């Protein structure tokens, strides 16, 4: 850990990177988050940012030790380097040396994991799991509101957006 701040892990695909939009444009059908076939090489290089994600990450970095925790495709070797390049291009110094690629997110310990998939390793995360895109957390604003409410002591006496 690089500071005395608590750790937040943020997934990439479907949370900060608009994977579903590109998937639907390429394949003409909705993405099934629980049965994702391999993507072609280069798929991750030009994903758009999810609405509100940059501002949310910038805000969270002021108060937490933020890491991007993503799973790269085993069968698409370019996904490993593509995710690294994408995160640097989209988040710059906010993401410098803050990308972790892991196939089991339950191995990591932090205050929060923000992810769009309610799979076993995410549900077993050692901290609070925030299910991005769910009814409770449909957008970044709802995630930020929850984190502010859950950390009142951290945000008391501070101006908030």
CATH of the domain at 80: 3.40.50.1000
3-class secondary-structure state, position 122: helix
Q: What is the pLDDT of residue 156?
A: 78
Residue 130, in any domain of the structure:
yes
Q: What is the pLDDT of residue 1?
A: 43
Residue 1, in any domain of the structure:
no
Active-site annotation, residues = 11, 13
Residue 2, in any domain of the structure:
no
Q: Tens digit of pLDDT per residue, the chain (161 long)? A: 457 899 999 999 999 999 999 999 998 888 887 788 889 999 999 999 999 999 999 999 999 999 999 999 999 999 999 999 999 999 999 999 999 999 999 999 999 999 999 988 888 999 999 999 999 999 999 999 999 999 998 887 655 55
Q: What is the pLDDT of residue 48?
A: 97
Q: What is the number of structural domains in the chain?
A: 1
CB neighbour burial string for 100-115, b if at least 16 within 10 angstroms, e if fewer: eeeeebbebebbbbbb
Q: What is the dihedral of CA 154, 100, 106, 75, to 10 degrees?
A: 150
Residue 160, in any domain of the structure:
no
Residue 161, in any domain of the structure:
no
For 143, the enclosing helix (H) or strand (E) is helix 140-150
Q: Which domain, by its residues, includes 106?
A: 7-155
Q: What is the dihedral of CA 122, 134, 82, 5, to 10 degrees?
A: -60
Residue 88, in any domain of the structure:
yes
Q: What is the pLDDT of residue 122?
A: 86
Q: What is the pLDDT of residue 160?
A: 53
pTM listed for this prediction = 0.92
Residue 21, in any domain of the structure:
yes
DSSP 156: T
Q: What is the pLDDT of residue 38?
A: 87
Longest Cα separation, the chain = 49
> What's the Cα-to-Cα distance from 71 to each of 28, 29, 74, 101, 117, rounded to whole Å?
24, 22, 9, 5, 11
Residue 138, in any domain of the structure:
yes
């Amino acid at each position: 850990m690089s500071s005395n701040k608590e750790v937040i892990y943020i997934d990439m695909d479907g949370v900060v990177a608009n994977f579903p939009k590109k998937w639907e444009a390429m394949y003409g059908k909705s993405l099934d988050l629980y049965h994702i076939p391999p993507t072609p090489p280069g798929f991750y290089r030009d994903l758009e940012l999810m609405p509100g994600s940059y501002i949310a990450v910038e805000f969270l970095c002021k108060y937490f030790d933020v890491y991007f925790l993503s799973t790269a495709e085993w069968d698409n070797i370019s996904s490993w380097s593509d995710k690294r390049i994408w995160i640097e291009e989209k988040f710059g110094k906010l993401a410098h040396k803050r990308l972790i690629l892991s196939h089991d997110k339950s191995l990591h310990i932090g205050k929060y994991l923000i992810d769009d998939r309610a799979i076993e390793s995410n549900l077993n995360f050692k901290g609070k799991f925030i299910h991005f895109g769910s009814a409770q957390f449909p957008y970044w604003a709802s995630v930020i509101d929850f984190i502010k409410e859950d950390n009142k002591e951290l945000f008391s006496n501070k101006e908030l957006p």
